[in-house]
Structure 1
Amino acid sequence: MRKFLAVLITLSPLTLLAQQWQITGFGGISNYQGDLQEKRVTTSQSHGAFGVGVQYGLTDHVVLRSGFTYGKISGDDKLANDEFLRLRNLNFTSQIVEFNFMAEYDFLSLEQYKFTPYIFAGIALFGFDPYTNDTLGNRYYLQPLGTEGQGLAEYPENKPYHRVQPSLPFGAGIKFKVNDQITLGYELGMRKTFTDYIDDISNRYVDQAALLAGSGPKAVELSYRSGELKDGNPVYPVDGTKRGSPEGKDWYNFQGITVSYRLQGRSSGSSKRTSMGHQLDCPKNVY
């Protein structure tokens, strides 16, 4: 009996630690806001997204979480309400791959309640690579083309943008305890970025001859596409003509269903937490 109690005491910290770890999953939609999508939160032009991760409960209210999320975003001037934007006739699509680390605050304890609203914030690193199709349906990635004169000697201030960037994720949600191990929820997570080139559009058109000489005819073709429209203007804009809005940076977001699975369940009503957030099983009488 003494040996059994000694083993139990030795393993208790490991058991308590396991009870705080959860495997998480996410399934929903992704979208972005920028020069080809005016609304910051919308389901228009959205695409599927999913993610996996882990989280650790520091207390009944504070959770640390980390994971990978994958999504797809796109934008198309053909869907814009503004006639100027429709005649611009640009579009893009990109994959978004994100690794994040965040802190979550639950307003209610799921040890006492069946549900809780929550908020979260943190840091992330994401990769993107915008592309489009030409009139023949061939796919071209836009960053190497330098559609706004990036990398040209005539425009030393236009540096090629990096396709891996930091972002600041934050958002809110609500989750429901299905049982001692499974929790379901719904959340909306915004991502503030520090780049205006997720959609490959930011500033102004550059000189056509300089772009042709430095980046080639495909860069010219995909930089200005109004001439592809029946009522469009086939004349390439003069150097300095507005192409995008550099004042604001691009955003992207994820929203959808979350699920978490606790690695080890616990019995409801039979435990208490210490001030440090660990669970202690209440002793049972032995006869």
Structure 2
Amino acid sequence: MKKLLILLITVLPLLSMAQPFHVTLFGGLANYQGDLQDKRYTFSGSKAAFGLGAQYDLNNHLSVKAGMMFGKIGADDKNSDNFYRKARNLNFQSNITEGQVLAQYDFLDLSEKRLSPYVFAGIGFYHFNPYSYDTLGRKVFLQPLSTEGQGLAQYPDRKNYHLTQFTIPFGFGLHFKLADNLVLGYEMGFRPALTDYLDDVSRTYVDHDALLAAKGPLAVEMAYRGGELKDGDPTYPVDGTQRGGANRKDWYYFSGFSLSIGIGNNGRAPKGLGCPTRVY
């Protein structure tokens, strides 16, 4: 993440010295899909997201963008229709901070058209840190607790997951030229997390006593929370019992409105929107 931030700090001033250059803003929603949320997108599980960056037009169709995205994701087994998940009673939240460099392609020339569909793809790095709240309402970060035995000697194949990861952002949207140097867009952006631990859930439960000895009672409490339910089963599952599904990695999404503000004359003003030409 630090390397990407350095890259963005270097690239943005260089872009601002060139034409055509745009400042970009984003506002919308963040969402997640993983072991606590099967559906790719739910409005009920969405949380606010925003972003800012810079764009440089290589021509009237192709642009290069660099920027930062900020959002929050989360899910709760209480909202699941699945009996097993409700009994498991896990939940998590996490802030997402992403740095990205993208290529964007408008299918139509916005110097001639008001509307154009577009697609984008690129590379990025993001930082996350899943957390929950214990029975006393205290915020607990989950990664240090090794809830699935990560880093424990008894489970050498389970390594601690990194909180900063690589991703490949891609998506599509629709641009609408509002005025000279002002473009409104609506887009859907998809991010493969390339980890199964956005939600701190992936594989199976580990031995109760091994986890207790290595990480303490809080780790056991956060690993299985069925006993917190009114009629829930307080018995911690035996070692090897399914906890999540490691066959599929997690995803997160950004969807919402973007605004591109051109700096100077970028040559993409649509016909009929620019200042009239006076003839003497």
Structure-2 residue corresponding to 1:182: 182
Instruction: Report matched runs for 1:83-98 at 5 Å.
Output: 83-98=83-98
Structure-1 residue corresponding to 2:131: 131
Name the amino acid aligned to 1:50: F
Structure-2 residue corresponding to 1:113: 113
Gaps of at least 5 residues in structure 1 are 1-16, 271-283
Structure-2 residue corresponding to 1:157: 157
Aligned residues: 259
**TM-score normalised over the length of structure 1:** 0.87
Contact 1:98 1:127 in 2 (8 A): yes
Distance 1:91 1:189 in 2: 24
Structure 1 stretches of at least 4 aligned residues deviating more than 2 Å after TM superposition:
265-270
Alpha-carbon distance, 1:194 to partner: 1.0
Alpha-carbon distance, 1:40 to partner: 1.2
SS at 2:168 equivalent = strand
Distance 1:43 1:52 in 2: 23
SS at 1:35 equivalent = coil
Name the amino acid aligned to 2:232: G
Structure-2 residue corresponding to 1:206: 206
Distance 1:68 1:128 in 2: 14
Change (3 A) 1:111 1:164: same
Alpha-carbon distance, 1:21 to partner: 0.7
SS at 2:221 equivalent = helix
Name the amino acid aligned to 1:133: Y
Alpha-carbon distance, 1:254 to partner: 0.2
Name the amino acid aligned to 1:104: Q
Alpha-carbon distance, 1:269 to partner: 7.3
- Pair 1:264 & 2:264 matched: yes
Distance 2:103 2:266 in 1: 23
RMSD: 2.0
Distance 1:94 1:57 in 2: 34
- Pair 1:148 & 2:148 matched: yes
- Pair 1:218 & 2:228 matched: no
Distance 1:36 1:66 in 2: 31
Instruction: Report matched runs for 1:36-51 at 5 Å.
Output: 36-51=36-51
Structure-2 residue corresponding to 1:64: 64
Distance 1:198 1:132 in 2: 12
SS at 1:175 equivalent = strand
**TM-score normalised over the length of structure 2:** 0.89
Name the amino acid aligned to 1:167: T
Change (3 A) 1:200 1:266: closer
Instruction: Report matched runs for 1:222-233 at 5 Å.
Output: 222-233=222-233
